[in-house]
Amino acid sequence: MFAGAPPAAPLAINAGYRYSLNGMVLRTWDSVGRVNNLGIGLLVAEGCLVCGLAALYEWMLLTQVARQRYGLYSVFLVIPTGFLRALASKHVQVDGEDDNDSDSEAGDDPGKQQAQQAKQQEGDKSGEGDKVGGEQDGLADEGQSLWS
């Protein structure tokens, strides 16, 4: 091979080459391990930072939602409870429910309409309620609900 080189020279070069190549591979693996550890550390730090920021942002949004809910329901905290119960138990007539019946009974005669109104007022004073229109001016009885 080489002029003037002993016959064992290629084996010596091969052994030296393998020794230096093995050292470079070992140093590279050490560098790769450090880069891997650094990457894991940055990943953990980034995960903690991103999760912390996301939790903070979510907390801010939920605080705003809680303020808006409080604004909606604060009305019910200001109105007295007895008044709310009275409103809840009051009978409500939907427009058009019994209008046809009361119109057909009263007809076009104004005298009949006045008599019907007087009858309705007497019924309200006695506590029976309005038999014709279905509307009651006072509070509902204990057993009567809004939907019955």
Contact 132/100 with Cβ under 8 angstroms? no
Considering the domain boundaries, does residue 10 fall inside one?
no
Torsion region of 66: left, alpha or beta (phi above 0 gives left; psi -120 to 50 gives alpha): alpha
DSSP labels, 93-139: PPTTSSHHHHHHHHTT-HHHHHHHHHHHHHHHHHT---TTT---SSP
The tally of domains found in the chain comes to 1
Considering the domain boundaries, does residue 123 fall inside one?
yes
Whole-number pLDDT of residue 134 = 46
Question: Tens digit of pLDDT for each residue in 55-75?
Answer: 999 999 999 999 999 888 887
Domain that holds residue 122: 102-128
Per-residue burial over 84-99, b = 16 or more CB atoms within 10 Å of its CB, e = otherwise = eeeeeeebeeeeeeee
Considering the domain boundaries, does residue 19 fall inside one?
no
Whole-number pLDDT of residue 15 = 87
Considering the domain boundaries, does residue 80 fall inside one?
no
Whole-number pLDDT of residue 44 = 97
pLDDT over 80 at 114, yes or no = no
Contact 87/76 with Cβ under 8 angstroms? no
CA-based nearest residue to 136, from 128, 148, 146, 126: 128
Considering the domain boundaries, does residue 1 fall inside one?
no
Question: Tens digit of pLDDT for each residue in 72-106?
Answer: 888 777 888 888 888 888 888 787 665 555 555 54
Considering the domain boundaries, does residue 115 fall inside one?
yes
pLDDT over 70 at 128, yes or no = no
Considering the domain boundaries, does residue 88 fall inside one?
no
Query: Tokens 């604004």 sit at which residue?
Result: 71
Q: Which of 108 and 137 is assigned the larger pLDDT?
A: 108
